[in-house]
Amino acid sequence: MKETPAKVEQDAQASPSPAMPPTEYPNGMRVADRVLTAFNHACAVTDLEAAEELLAVLEKIAERRIRRFGGDRRRETFTVSHAREHLEWQKARRAG
């Protein structure tokens, strides 16, 4: 059975969730995932200034998601916490 474009459009409008499914993200990545990738790259090449700025962006994204969706957002909190610890480790390693 072949679905008509009108049927597909109705199904999309009837979605109970305003969130976009992961398959519809460009290249399958969320913005937070792209920022985290850039953060990891900055740490890998020891560009700690850029890593600090990207960490601030990650924190803002996590705060916004917690405010928007509420509840316990352990994954975002863990990711930001882990990134912060990794940056501190990089700074300590570089200092001494």
Question: Residue 4, by phi and psi: left (phi above 0), alpha (psi -120 to 50) or beta?
Answer: beta
pTM of the shown model:
0.66
CA geometry: angle 21, 26, 29, nearest 5 deg? 70
Q: What is the pLDDT of residue 23?
A: 56
List, for residues 25-79, the tens digit of each pLDDT value: 566 678 888 999 999 999 999 999 999 999 999 999 888 887 887 766 677 778 8
Q: Where are the domains positioned within the chain?
A: 25-95
Half-sphere exposure (Cβ direction) of 16: Cα atoms closer than 13 Å: 0
The answer to whether 66 and 76 have CB atoms below 8 angstroms apart is yes
